[in-house]
Amino acid sequence: MTLFEKSQSILLNISLFSALKANCAEETFLGPLRLKSLKLNYCLSGTIAEFDFLSRNNNNISSVFKKGTPVFVCHEEGAEIISECYFISLINGNISVLITDDKFRYLNLHSNYIIIPGLLHDALENLESLIKKREWEGMPGERILHFMHRSLEMPFPHLYSKPLKSVINENLNKEQKNAVGAALDDKFPLVAICGPPGTGKTHVVEEIIQQAIKLGKRILVCAASNLAVENIYNRLKDKSVVYLHSLNASLSENSLSENLYLYKKSEHMNTISKKQVIFCTLTSKLIHSFSTSGFKPDLTIIDEVAQAMECVTYPALLQAPRVVLVGDQNQLCAILRSPEAEKGGLGQSILEFLMKEFGKSFVLSLNIQYRMNEKIMRWWSSAQFYGSNLVAHATVAKQTLR
């Protein structure tokens, strides 16, 4: 399935490029380009390829090509794909990408190239390997998969109302406190905390993490994007017990020699083993090193869960015996470029899958919003998307511009 999805995406990207080029929609690809240099990078376990534009353009590519975005490097003629890699930067007309396989050998200084959006299939390939080798058996989160697929009966927390013994953030409302309590209760292996924008989901996640730290628990915090991960990380005041893994941190070590890199890697693993909280994206390869680094989380938290494809969440779900999913069930899910893969179910988020299986029985809803006037709320969002269940908090209910 994953290989099929990849091949479909490649074919679709090639056909899209041909159509886009014909219609001069150059903001969706970069080129034509000429190779400038290749540099082996031990820290990133790959090769940095630098390209120059053959002709300058002023397109705004920031919405398509961001640091860490998967891309394809192709021959300009026929859009023949050479390698899938990762976009690093565009600075003063110089484009840098990271190539993690040996396909850099097919690049030369005399050919013209283009770069088009790719498909981040590393997570899918890792999952495929995990399933084929049955590596999931015996992992801490194996029971989570059994609960999800009904081979074990799952206890549901939807009516949870056990009061917290203490609260770090005194401003939390009753719904938020109940959500924190359920997330910390070992009786529930799987908890979903859902609510629209402005209901304080991030405050709840912050409270869960702080409370878990006080209890001596270890936590893995993931999301589909670096931005979502860093948003939570930046809210924590005490950074001494947490570790943030990001592409930016890796790129800052570009110039390391191999020996220094090996030393840094050993030091890095030692650091991870001592931390209570690890932050990373769902597709981070760091997740697959936990078994060797000594980091064994008691709880996995996945934020912005509606943006996370079901299949991409499995490696993170397997790391801990308990999982908390946080998000908005009405948020748009991750976008696939392959219609066939969409038909095959790969575009389904983990939240969408679970709600189809169990309804809202595993969900704790946050219905008090702190972002808009009650008339605006009732006029559209509450009635159209949330069953008229939203309530405007008193601090914003009557708020107007004058």
Task: Give all domains of the chain, ordered by start, each with its CATH number.
Answer: 11-123 (2.40.30.270), 136-241+276-366 (3.40.50.300)
Residue partners of 361: CB distance under 8 A and separation at least 6: 156, 158
**CA pair distance 287, 290, nearest whole angstrom:** 6
pLDDT band (50, 70, 90) for residue 388: low
The residue behind tokens 């924008």 is: 197
> Residue 32: how many CA atoms within 13 Å on its side-chain side?
11
Q: Which pLDDT score is estimated for 91?
A: 84
Mind listing the pLDDT tens digit for each residue in 201-256?
999 999 999 999 999 999 999 998 888 898 999 998 888 888 877 654 454 444 44
| Percent of the chain residues past pLDDT 70, beyond the cut | 70
Mind giving me the DSSP string for 243-259? EE--HHHHHTTTT--HH
* Three-class secondary structure of residue 71 per DSSP: strand
pLDDT at 183: 95
What is the Cα 278 distance to its own chain's centre? 14
Cβ proximity of 326 and 164 under 8 Å = no
377 pLDDT higher than 70:
no
Lowest mean pLDDT among 45-54, 241-250, 271-280: 241-250
Based on its alpha-carbon atoms, the radius of gyration of the chain, rounded to whole angstroms, reads: 23
Checking if the pLDDT of 62 tops 80, the result is: no
Beta strands in 100-251 (DSSP E): 112-117, 190-194, 219-223, 242-244
Q: What is the pLDDT of residue 206?
A: 96
According to the per-residue pLDDT averaged within each range, which of 30-39, 176-185, 239-248, 278-287 is highest?
176-185
pLDDT for the residue numbered 129: 64
Q: Contact 319/141 with Cβ under 8 angstroms? A: yes
* Top-ranked range on mean pLDDT: pick from 8-17, 360-369, 380-389: 360-369
Q: What is the model's pLDDT at position 277?
A: 94
Closest CA to 365 of 223, 243, 182, 117: 182
Q: Is it the case that residue 15 has pLDDT exceeding 50? A: no
Task: Say how far apart CA 402 and CA 392 lie, in whole Å.
Answer: 18
pLDDT at residue 374, rounded to an integer: 74
- The torsion defined by the Cα of 351, 356, 359 and 362, in degrees rounded to 10, comes to -40
